[in-house]
Amino acid sequence: MIRDITLGQYYQAESPIHKMDPRVKLIGTICFIISLFIFKNISAYIVATVFLAVVIKVSHVPFGFMIKGMKSILVLMMITVVFNLLLTPGEPIVTFWRFVITKEGIEGAAFTAIRLSYLIVGSSLMTLTTTPNNLTDGMEKLLKPLGVIKVPVHEVSMMMSIALRFIPILLEETDKIMKAQMARGADFERGNLFQKAKNLVPLLVPLFISAFRRANDLAMAMEARCYRGGEGRTKMKPLQYRKRDYLAYMSLMIYLVLIVVAGKWGII
């Protein structure tokens, strides 16, 4: 399951989404995530589903690879759905013991599951189609106005990009350490909650040591290359909007208009 997490990974392919300016993908991802939480009816989610399906198709990323990331949030999704079912007041449908399942609870649980699923898939799609370097450049460009108030934009963008890039690296390291410890007799499943937490010590200690070692190696490599922050640095490939990027912005505007119309005046 650890290897199934797709957030932070990059999938090499030749597609219009891969070739887009990273600023377009960052803005599009933010707008898509916001649109999921503004409206709460079936019509709006149908529009969001169609938009997400089209983007996945155009990206040339296999759908099976996309939904692998859903396994990592399955437990969180189940907990959220159960809480919505049992703790949402409204029109009762089923009553058992001290719990009441309401119509509003079922609707809330369904919409919450859809939101979490689309949020993970949409965010993963951005990282799967954008290299870490392009992601850093895109965030730096978007955050550039904050430099007026002395915010270290380049450093912030670099840290966010490195954090995303470290996600799949640390997950792979976790998987290796877990298999090595299990080969030595470690059991991460047996016992109650406290025993399971105690059993994680042989996993967490080497993982933290490995993470700090990797961070130190990265810092030394950056210093060896005379990295001193963003001030005065130039770009070998400066970001420039092209025709496909403007078309992507137009498609995003059309999506936002459609989801607003479906959200406010949808028939379902």
User: What's residue 253's pLDDT?
Assistant: 94
**Between 37 and 72, residue with greater pLDDT:** 37
**CA gap 157, 238 in Å, rounded:** 16
- 8 A C-beta contact, residue 134 and residue 22: yes
User: What's residue 40's pLDDT?
Assistant: 76
**Between 113 and 251, residue with greater pLDDT:** 251
pLDDT at 3 over 80: no
Residue 100, H or E segment: strand 99-102
**Alpha helices (runs of H) in the chain, residue ranges in sequence order:** 16-19, 22-38, 42-59, 63-67, 74-87, 103-128, 132-142, 153-183, 193-199, 201-224, 243-265
Give the residue from 41, 40, 39, 17 showing the smallest Cα distance to 29.
Answer: 17
User: What's residue 254's pLDDT?
Assistant: 93
Cα–chain center distance at 13: 19
**Between 179 and 236, residue with greater pLDDT:** 179
User: What's residue 232's pLDDT?
Assistant: 67
176-223 per-position pLDDT tens digit: 888 888 888 777 777 676 777 777 788 888 888 888 898 899 889 888
Highest mean pLDDT among 84-98, 137-151, 178-192, 236-250: 236-250
User: What's residue 149's pLDDT?
Assistant: 83
- 8 A C-beta contact, residue 10 and residue 130: yes
Handedness of CA 133, 139, 142, 147 (dihedral sign): negative
Place of tokens 């030749």: 14
Residue 21: how many other CB atoms lie within 10 Å: 22
pLDDT at 231 over 70: no
Domain boundary assignment for the chain = 2-265
27-71 per-position pLDDT tens digit: 999 999 999 888 778 888 899 999 999 999 999 888 877 777 666
Residue 92, H or E segment: strand 92-96
User: What's residue 31's pLDDT?
Assistant: 92
User: What's residue 249's pLDDT?
Assistant: 94
Query: Running DSSP on this structure, what letter comes out for residue 99?
Result: E
Which tokens is 247 given? 């078309």
User: What's residue 225's pLDDT?
Assistant: 81
User: What's residue 28's pLDDT?
Assistant: 93
pLDDT-based confidence at 24, cuts 50/70/90? very high
93-136 per-position pLDDT tens digit: 877 777 778 878 888 888 888 888 888 888 888 888 988 778 88
User: What's residue 250's pLDDT?
Assistant: 95
| Separation in Å, CA 149 to CA 139, 144, 155, 211, 252 | 17, 10, 15, 33, 30
- 8 A C-beta contact, residue 25 and residue 138: yes
Which tokens is 122 given? 């949409």
The structure's pTM equals: 0.75
pLDDT-based confidence at 247, cuts 50/70/90? very high
**Between 259 and 235, residue with greater pLDDT:** 259
Tell me the average pLDDT of the chain: 82
Give mean pLDDT, residues 82-88: 79
C-alpha atoms less than 13 angstroms from C-alpha of 101 in its C-beta half-sphere = 10
